[in-house]
Amino acid sequence: MEKTRSQFLLSPEITHLNHGSFGACPKPIFEDYQKWQLELEKNTFNFFVKQGPILLEKSRAALGSFIGCNKDDVVFTMNPSYALNIIIKDFGLKKGDEILATDIEYGAMDRTWNHYCKQAGAKYVRQHISLPITSKEQIIEEFFQGLTSNTKAIFISHITSTTALRLPVEEICKRAKAEGLITIIDGAHVPGHIDLNLQELDADIYTGACHKWLLTPKGSSFLYVKKELQPFNPLLISWGFESDMPSDSQFIDHHQLQGTRDYSAFLTIPAALKFREDNNWSQVAADCRKLAQSNYERFADVTGGTILCPISDDFLGQMCSLSISCPDPVALQDLLYSKYQIEIPVMPHDDKVYIRYSINGYHTQDDLDKLFSALEEIRNSTDLLK
């Protein structure tokens, strides 16, 4: 992986084991990003008004081909949280409605659903999922124990954030559809991480980040909505709303034109897909999964923590998270960075604490060995790991 490491802009002084939070952009893709920014500055009006919509359509087409959807059923957003705020705010929640989720969803989305549910007199149900996971069937059975006659939709992560678990979204979507429910999937960690075909998945609404595992610059994500549920009102009312020059897609009109914003990052999708192809990224990803998973039990030994699932592609990708006993997660994360130059998240979630490492093409076994040694020293010399 040394050759691949040289293609990234990451500081060599830091061991970056937190790809999952914000990603990392390789040099060729970042150069493409800067090319578009320069084009914007050279001829701003033409870029925004004339050239931009054409370029965005090409980028949407490339993305649609990669994730298995029509280019006019997907719009670019800055991040998945922005995308899901579009949906949740305009979801038409009514008093008594229930949204069925798990208790291991991304905290920002818990806050968003709770806010709008409270406004409407609806209920956001965080159904408990027992950890460690033992099987797909266990997840599905526990999840649907939260189903009631008031359930309007399900909301679930394809790959969770804090616990880094791949959930059986395919099976859950199929059962939810049979129950007549709308399916909303938070796939922030999915594009470029595991295979995704939206046509086959048949979810109604799906969001994913491109700046994580698809390796684009920061601030590049998407929102997919099935045509029959479009367009949803935009968070920002601008020229595309009740447009004087409507296109064939009101969904695109509503959400693409959001005033003056730099959408250069959105235009790097074709370059990112080319980078993957040129560097045989499917094999790189497979090697990364193997490296991540082969070290999982080892870190449970050194931290005294608990692995969260069977070690299998069914439940794990290139991230692994452990439940640890740590009285001060912030102090542990800060110590790992300041003393050992290791960037890794240590995250509280409800009454638990999780440490999560992410592996991508710039990592080697040496990076995980460094983390292991640091955690071993911390456990023997401090009270941060009990």
Q: Could you say which of 223, 252, 273 is where a domain stops? A: 273
Using one digit for the tens of pLDDT, what is the confidence trace for 165-205? 999 999 999 999 999 999 999 999 999 999 999 999 999 99
Q: What average pLDDT does the segment 65-84 reach?
A: 97
Position 181 scores a pLDDT of: 98
Are 34 and 76 in a shared domain?
yes
Q: What average pLDDT does the segment 209-232 reach?
A: 97
Show the domain range for 121.
30-273
Q: Could you say which of 241, 273, 305 is where a domain stops? A: 273
Tally of domains in the chain:
2
Q: Residue 112: inside a domain, yes or no?
A: yes
Ordered strands of the 319-324 beta sheet: 306-307, 319-324, 352-358, 346-349
Residue 63 to residue 272: CA distance in whole angstroms: 10
Q: Residue 386: inside a domain, yes or no?
A: no
pTM of the model: 0.97
Question: Could you tell me if 363 and 12 are in contact, meaning their C-beta atoms sit under 8 angstroms apart?
Answer: no
Q: Which of 24, 10, 14, 17 is CA-nearest to residue 358? A: 17
Are 13 and 59 in a shared domain?
no
CA distance readout (Å), 151 to 94, 121, 124, 229: 11, 13, 10, 18
CATH number of the domain that residue 207 is part of:
3.40.640.10
pLDDT at 2 over 80: no
Are 208 and 237 in a shared domain?
yes
Residue 190 to residue 166: CA distance in whole angstroms: 9
